[in-house]
Amino acid sequence: MEIANSPRDRSAASTEPLPLAALLALAMTGFICIASETLPAGLLPLIAGDLRISHAVAGQTVTAYALGSLLAAIPLTIATGGWRRRKVLLLTVFGFLLFNTVTAHSSTIWLIMVARFGAGASAGLAWSLLGAYARRMVAVHQQGRAMAIAMVGTPVALALGVPLGTWLGNDMGWRNAFNVMSGLTLLLIVLVLAKVPDFPGQSGHERQSMGAVLHTPGVKAVLATVILWMLGHNVLYTYIAPFLAMAGMAHAVDAVLLNFGVSALAGIWAAGRLVDRRLRSAVLASLSVFALVAVLFIFASATPAAIHVGVALWGVTFGGAATLLQTALADSAGSGADVALSMNVVAWNSAIAGAGVLGGVLLASWGAGAFPWAVLALAAAGLGVAWSARAHGFRPGPRMH
C-alpha cells in the first residue's frame, strides 16, 4: 500500500480497513524489543550461576541494552533516513536475531555485554521507526488507531516478559530462553516480508537536522512531558517491590505486575479510541489520574485493596502513553517525525535511567513511602507542561484530517 496523494486516493484510503497484519508485525517488533530488554531480569540467578559471576554483574546485561538504545537511536535514525523503510525494519529485526543468538551461545560475560549493547541499538532504531511506519500505512484520520495497534506489544511484553523469561529459563535453561526469542524473530522476518508494505526513505533535501526538528514548535513540550511522565512512572515501577512491602504484599509482585499489564492493554484500547479525536484531553486526563493514583498511594500505602485499585488505574494511564505521546510528537515534527521519534527513544530511556538513580536516592534517604510523593510532583509537572502546550504540542480538538 502506498500513501494516498490525490483527493480521490485520500477518499478511498479513508474507507479502507486498517492493515492489521502489517500493524501486528510492528507490534511484534515492539514486543521483541521489550521482551529482549527485560528477559534477563527473570534469569539473573541462572545467568550468574552459569557464568560464575555475581547477580550485580549479571544485572548489567540490562544496563548494556539500555545504553545501546540510548546512544544509538539518533545516529542510526539519521544514518538510515534515506533508506527504504522495510529495509530499515528488517535491519533492526535481524539485529535482534543476531545479538540474541550470540547471547544464547556466548561463554563470556564480556561478549554477552557487547551483544546486549547491539540488541539495545537495534531496539533504539526500531522505536524511532515503528510509530512513523504505522502512520504511513493509513489515512491521516486513522493514524492514531494505527499507532495504538503498533504499540500493543509493549504492555504485553511488560506484563509477560519477566515471568515468561523466568518460566522458560527454569524449564529449559536461560540460553534456550534467548533461543526462543531468536525463533520468534525468524517468524517476524517472514511476517515482515509477507505483509509489511515498503516505503521510500527521505531524500537528502527532505531530511531535517536534529537541531531543526528540536526547535519545531511543540516538539520540546512533548519531549518534556515524556521525561516527566516516564520519570514518575519508572520511579514507582522500578522499585515496586519495596513499595508493595509496605502493604505486606512483597509476595504479590507478580500478581500486581500482571494487574498492571492487563490494565495497560485497556489503556491502549482507550487511547486508540480517543487519540484521533481528543488527543489533548486524553493526555491531560491520563496525567491527572496518574497524579490522583499517587495521592491514593500516599494515604493508603498500607492497604492492599487500595494498592490493587491504584495499580489498575495507573496501568490504564500508562498503556495509552506511548500512543498519545508519539502521535503528538510526530504531529508536531511533521516531516521530521523519524528524527523526533528517535529523540523520544533517548528521552524515554533517559527517564528510565534517571528514575533508577532518583528512586535509589529516595529509598536510601526516606524509604519507599517517598515514592508516591515524587510521582505526584512529576505527574503534576508533566500535567502543567502539557496544559501549557495548547498552541503547539497538545492541541485541542480532532487531529488534522
Whether 26 contacts 148, CB under 8 Å:
no
Torsion of CA 12, 17, 22, 26, to 10 degrees: 110
Average pLDDT of span 270-290:
93
In this predicted structure, the answer to whether residue 11 has a pLDDT above a threshold of 70 is no
Euclidean distance between CA atoms 79 and 64, whole angstroms: 22
- Of residues 336 and 373, more confidence is placed in 373
3-state secondary structure 28-54: HHHHHHHHHHHHHHHCHHHHHHHHCCC
Domain with residues 14-195, CATH architecture = Up-down Bundle (1.20)
Mean of the pLDDT values across residues 131-148?
86
Mean pLDDT for the stretch of residues 325-337: 88
Give DSSP secondary structure letters for 239-285.
THHHHHHTTT-GGGHHHHHHHHHHHHHHHHHHHHHHTTT-HHHHHHH
Reported as a single tens digit per residue, the pLDDT across 45-68 is: 888 899 998 877 888 888 889 889
**Across residues 369-379, what is the average pLDDT?**
96
Does the pLDDT of residue 261 top 60, yes or no?
yes
* Per-domain boundaries in the chain: 14-195, 210-388
Mean per-residue pLDDT of the chain: 87
Q: CATH says 210-388 is which class?
A: mainly alpha
Closest alpha carbon to 55 in 134, 109, 111: 109
Lowest mean pLDDT among 160-174, 283-297, 328-342, 347-361: 160-174
What span, in angstroms and rounded, lies between the C-alpha atoms of 157 and 252? 19
Q: Is the pLDDT at 10 greater than 60, yes or no?
A: no
Mean pLDDT within 300-320: 94
Q: What separation in angstroms does the CA of 129 have from each of 12, 122, 139, 141, 223?
A: 26, 11, 18, 20, 17
pTM: 0.80
> What is the structure's pLDDT at 280?
95
Give pLDDT tens digits for 116-128.
Answer: 999 999 999 998 8
Label residues 233-255 b or e (16+ Cβ within 10 Å = b): bbbbbbbbeebbebbebeebeee
The rounded distance, in Å, linking the Cα atoms of 288 and 321 is: 13
Yes or no: say if 325 and 268 are a contact pair by the CB < 8 Å rule. no
In this predicted structure, what is the pLDDT of residue 9?
Answer: 39
Q: Which residues, 6+ apart, have CB-to-CB distance to 326 below 8 Å?
A: 131, 147, 151, 341, 344
* 3-state class percentages of the chain: helix first, strand second, coil last, to nearest 5: 80, 0, 20
Asked if pLDDT for residue 82 goes beyond 50, the answer is: yes
What Cα–Cα distance (Å) separates residue 386 from each residue in 231, 280, 319, 337, 373? 15, 8, 18, 19, 20
Same fold yes or no, 14-195 and 210-388: yes
On the question of pLDDT at 42 being above 80, the answer is no
Q: Which residue has the cell 534515506?
A: 82
- Counting residues of the chain whose pLDDT is more than 70, the rounded percentage is 94
The pLDDT value recorded for residue 137 is 92
The per-residue pLDDT for 4 is: 40
Q: Average pLDDT in the 83-97 region?
A: 95
C-alpha cell belonging to residue 349: 530511556
pLDDT attached to residue 7: 37
CA distance 136 to 1: 9
